[in-house]
Chains A and B, each alone.
Chain A
């Protein structure tokens, strides 16, 4: 759950940017292994993939018989490896690589639902305080560890994540865990003091399993050499240039025909920071697959017969944040007026080149929660309504600043579009492009009026709402506080029961939030990726994390 700026072009251009460090988590949170397998009986079955939400994703129905073994897939990345210890990194680009190397108990499928990966099954006690996970048997660690994964490794990994000394940015996902223990070789028990409903999703976010004793190992250095259980083994990294991973011979999964996975021999993640250069490389065939296609350039690929462009609704959204405790935006009528003045479609077109979906809430369009949680009275551009609310409010024409990360042209565009739309109802705003680091400290200190920021990585509604809208929480930079919302969010966090029941709390909370407008939600960016025609069986997932274990190359 991270704030980042931009999922689109700028993200692409910003190289480091929030996406790299913050945004990243998005990827992690919703790890995307959609292609295959589910937490069930441990026999993975490739499922057909067509990307969570459509687009012209041409992922073919997997036909194991047709799959060809071997080959090196060259993937064009926006930035290089930012670290190798999965408990310590959050950069999206880095996690895209590490997700192919490390395993987790639970991963997120293309409907953003949790499914088993290293866990085959789990149960929750009646009081919702104990979660028991059954581990998949026969999972091997990469060399030099080369032994079977057991419950002790899982316990070790979570103790490591929870240890403050580790300094893991994922730690806050797991702090509610009171105790983690092994029960035999293949059973892990997590105990809680209070019910923790989002736990499954949190497991998929940063809960990477390392071999027990990794920190003290003498034959490898875990901060330098990743040792996981995933389909690919870390081979080599050349700073700023490339990362190579090779197929793990003892990987536990096979396809429907008992062929070993992964099909590929090797994946080379090549760093090509510039978006247009990535696309040119793709079109000329020097790379096979490209991540983070800049929306401004995506249209050049449409209709190109040698390249498949896939756009599906992503998990990254832009919002207009209001500082609700500072004049004049402490006046809810002014905040509502702003929400009525904004035309989301013009933002989608003007700033995102059409590759985005307008939204009234933070639930990703591809999420299973989308139908359950929605705003009762959505906003749409209504200048009369906006004007009368402005007139009614205490606003007397003072200038509002919109702070926006200067590295993110698309967000600056959004700010400019909003500035103009606010002008139509007599609200004067200035756009203030600001260095991202400075902006974040401004937001934390409440030194702003309005801001354009993006969030990503939300899978569970708790992720999307608790830390942002609960009084006094870490990311509540709007300084929003409403007792009823607090209570609903607490209930949602504790209700480990069925999805419908939890959804009710969030559905109620979002209605209040929408009325009181700490955020004006704008649009979800599309997740854009592109690959050459030789790439087969790739499943594009809205979180953007590529999983290459089921992919094969036509040679």
Chain B
């Protein structure tokens, strides 16, 4: 199978995945106790009000009718429906929540790569030497510090004591690059630090594995310098599993880092999803789950395609 056919197959595979996700997320919400009307009006939701609003919003129709109705609107009109509580367009909500999350995910992944890959290389090259232990120690420290704690510490230090960066909010770097990047620094470091440890460990172990292969020994035997062998021959091969990890991390970040979005008041997908769960805002929740699934699938696809660049030997079948 050629590369083109492989790409096509992978793209088509996304369709049943999304179909499954949409069905499960739509169905699972049926099982949640308490409906959107009850959530919106709490104890004021007397049975008549609930019934009336359920009718108004078509919540009393059969499950499959509602499901296909909803899915049809999304597929045909890109219309994710209306929220119950605020009667707002879910599509608009999703569209405004997506960019902050993508920026956060991308900058977080960037930070993790910038920290993780060099640290992994240093670690592997200086295997079992102090540099390795130090890098490993720092990596585990980063991994062990909870996001919410690191976020708050960063806010305290860099917004309060040494006020360099704003402590909350989101400004799109597209509309105001300077301010936008400034607001991204602390949240990006917060999410990036934690996942950089994973990147670092993956880079380290795959590099060590590559180091033990024969072609590296051959290269060294030819008298090439260690730096040259590492940079030219080893790193690129060692990157393949690392790219998978970065890709998965990125996909995970796109799901919205709820805690980080919450602490830094970033109006992203994670917060939207959390709020939707707490308020039983079904349409928003279903929409955001679908979007998250789509993003994850796309990131996975991109990751797989990136392999081809890194390792032309990979066969697509």
Which residue of A is nearest B95, CB measured? A239
Contact A167 B275 (CB under 8 A): no
- CB B70 to nearest CB in A, in angstroms, measures 21
At the interface, yes or no: B264 with Cβ under 8 Å from chain A?
Answer: yes
At the interface, yes or no: A273 with Cβ under 8 Å from chain B?
Answer: yes
Contact B278 A169 (CB under 8 A): no
Contact B45 A169 (CB under 8 A): yes
Quick one: which of A270-326 are within 8 Å of B by CB?
270-274, 276-277, 280-281, 283-284, 286
Residues of B within 8 A of A4 (CB): 42
At the interface, yes or no: A172 with Cβ under 8 Å from chain B?
Answer: yes
Which residue of B is nearest A434, CB measured? B33
SS class, residues of chain B in contact with chain A:
helix
Q: Mark A140-177, 1 if CB is under 8 A from B, else 0.
A: 00000000000000000000000010010101100000
Tell me the complex Cα distance, A440–B39, Å: 10
Q: Mark B74-98, 1 if CB is under 8 A from A, else 0.
A: 0000000000011110001100110
Contact A284 B93 (CB under 8 A): no
Other-chain contact of B271, A240, A435, A436 (Cβ < 8 Å): A240
At the interface, yes or no: A474 with Cβ under 8 Å from chain B?
Answer: yes
Contact A273 B42 (CB under 8 A): no
Contact A223 B87 (CB under 8 A): yes
- CB A316 to nearest CB in B, in angstroms, measures 14
- CB B34 to nearest CB in A, in angstroms, measures 3
At the interface, yes or no: A18 with Cβ under 8 Å from chain B?
Answer: yes
Contact A167 B56 (CB under 8 A): yes
- CB A205 to nearest CB in B, in angstroms, measures 11
Tell me the complex Cα distance, A80–B53, Å: 23
Other-chain contact of A238, B96, B167, B275 (Cβ < 8 Å): B96
Residues of A within 8 A of B275 (CB): 15-16, 79, 240
Contact B155 A280 (CB under 8 A): yes
Contact A22 B43 (CB under 8 A): yes
Tell me the complex Cα distance, A407–B168, Å: 23
At the interface, yes or no: B46 with Cβ under 8 Å from chain A?
Answer: yes
- CB A474 to nearest CB in B, in angstroms, measures 6
Tell me the complex Cα distance, A316–B39, Å: 19
At the interface, yes or no: B204 with Cβ under 8 Å from chain A?
Answer: no
Contact B263 A274 (CB under 8 A): yes
Q: Mark B115-132, 1 if CB is under 8 A from A, else 0.
A: 000000000000000000
Contact B265 A437 (CB under 8 A): no
Contact A437 B39 (CB under 8 A): yes
At the interface, yes or no: A503 with Cβ under 8 Å from chain B?
Answer: no
At the interface, yes or no: A96 with Cβ under 8 Å from chain B?
Answer: no
Segment among B4-12, B156-164, B206-214 that sits at the interface with chain A = B156-164
- CB B313 to nearest CB in A, in angstroms, measures 46
At the interface, yes or no: B267 with Cβ under 8 Å from chain A?
Answer: yes
Contact A270 B87 (CB under 8 A): no
Segment among A82-90, A99-107, A194-202 that sits at the interface with chain B = A82-90
Other-chain contact of A82, B85, B156, B166 (Cβ < 8 Å): B85
- CB B45 to nearest CB in A, in angstroms, measures 7
Contact A83 B167 (CB under 8 A): no
| A169-B168 in contact given A16-B275, A277-B265, A283-B160 (Cβ < 8 Å) | no
Quick one: which of A1-50 are within 8 Å of B by CB?
2-4, 14-18, 20-23, 25
Residues of A within 8 A of B41 (CB): 21-22, 90, 169
Q: Mark B268-305, 1 if CB is under 8 A from A, else 0.
A: 10011011001110000000000000000000000000
At the interface, yes or no: A441 with Cβ under 8 Å from chain B?
Answer: yes
At the interface, yes or no: A475 with Cβ under 8 Å from chain B?
Answer: yes
At the interface, yes or no: B169 with Cβ under 8 Å from chain A?
Answer: yes
- CB A289 to nearest CB in B, in angstroms, measures 15
| A21-B42 in contact given A14-B278, A437-B32 (Cβ < 8 Å) | yes
Residues of B within 8 A of A271 (CB): 265, 267
Other-chain contact of B39, A21, A23, A272, A474 (Cβ < 8 Å): A21
Quick one: which of B35-85 are within 8 Å of A by CB?
38-46, 48-49, 52-53, 56, 85
At the interface, yes or no: B237 with Cβ under 8 Å from chain A?
Answer: no
Which residue of A is nearest B159, CB measured? A284
Residues of A within 8 A of B278 (CB): 14-17, 20, 407, 436
Contact A437 B280 (CB under 8 A): yes
Contact A276 B267 (CB under 8 A): no
Contact B93 A239 (CB under 8 A): yes
Tell me the complex Cα distance, A154–B292, Å: 46
At the interface, yes or no: A217 with Cβ under 8 Å from chain B?
Answer: no
Other-chain contact of A239, B39, B43, B49, B88 (Cβ < 8 Å): B88
- CB A439 to nearest CB in B, in angstroms, measures 9
Other-chain contact of A280, B32, B160, B262, B267 (Cβ < 8 Å): B160
| A284-B86 in contact given A4-B42, A241-B267 (Cβ < 8 Å) | no
Other-chain contact of A438, B33, B46, B167 (Cβ < 8 Å): B33
Contact B86 A286 (CB under 8 A): no
- CB A351 to nearest CB in B, in angstroms, measures 21
At the interface, yes or no: A81 with Cβ under 8 Å from chain B?
Answer: yes
Using C-beta atoms within 8 Å of the partner chain, give the interface range for chain B: 35 or more
Residues of A within 8 A of B168 (CB): 270, 272, 277, 281, 286
Residues of A within 8 A of B280 (CB): 437
Residues of A within 8 A of B169 (CB): 241, 270
Which residue of B is nearest A240, CB measured? B267
| A274-B279 in contact given A2-B42, A169-B41, A169-B44 (Cβ < 8 Å) | no
| A15-B262 in contact given A2-B43, A22-B42, A240-B272 (Cβ < 8 Å) | yes
Residues of A within 8 A of B56 (CB): 167
Residues of A within 8 A of B39 (CB): 21, 437
- CB B298 to nearest CB in A, in angstroms, measures 23
Contact B97 A239 (CB under 8 A): yes
Contact B44 A22 (CB under 8 A): yes
Residues of A within 8 A of B250 (CB): none
Contact A167 B97 (CB under 8 A): no
Which residue of B is nearest A171, CB measured? B49
At the interface, yes or no: B152 with Cβ under 8 Å from chain A?
Answer: yes
At the interface, yes or no: B103 with Cβ under 8 Å from chain A?
Answer: no
Residues of A within 8 A of B43 (CB): 2-3, 22, 440, 474-475
Contact A172 B52 (CB under 8 A): no
At the interface, yes or no: B170 with Cβ under 8 Å from chain A?
Answer: yes
- CB B227 to nearest CB in A, in angstroms, measures 44
Other-chain contact of B267, A18, A20, A167, A239 (Cβ < 8 Å): A239
Tell me the complex Cα distance, A240–B97, Å: 8
| A167-B53 in contact given A83-B87, A90-B44, A271-B265 (Cβ < 8 Å) | yes
Contact A238 B160 (CB under 8 A): no
Q: Mark A55-85, 1 if CB is under 8 A from B, else 0.
A: 0000000000000000000000001111110
Residues of B within 8 A of A82 (CB): 85-86
- CB A277 to nearest CB in B, in angstroms, measures 5
Which residue of A is nearest B278, CB measured? A16
Contact B34 A273 (CB under 8 A): no
Residues of A within 8 A of B92 (CB): 239
- CB A540 to nearest CB in B, in angstroms, measures 24
Residues of A within 8 A of B32 (CB): 437
Residues of B within 8 A of A238 (CB): 96, 267
Contact A274 B265 (CB under 8 A): yes
Tell me the complex Cα distance, A318–B127, Å: 58
Contact A284 B44 (CB under 8 A): no
- CB A184 to nearest CB in B, in angstroms, measures 34
A-B interface, 3 closest residue pairs, ranked by CB to CB distance from nearest: A437-B34, A22-B42, A240-B267
Q: List 24 A-B contacts (CB under 8 A).
A: A3-B42, A4-B42, A15-B274, A15-B275, A20-B278, A21-B42, A22-B41, A80-B267, A83-B87, A167-B49, A169-B41, A169-B49, A172-B44, A241-B267, A270-B168, A274-B265, A280-B155, A280-B156, A281-B159, A284-B159, A407-B278, A437-B280, A441-B33, A475-B43
Other than the given A21-B85, A281-B159, A475-B43, 15 more pairs (CB < 8 A) read A2-B42, A3-B43, A16-B275, A20-B279, A83-B86, A90-B42, A90-B44, A164-B48, A169-B40, A223-B87, A239-B267, A277-B167, A435-B33, A438-B34, A441-B34
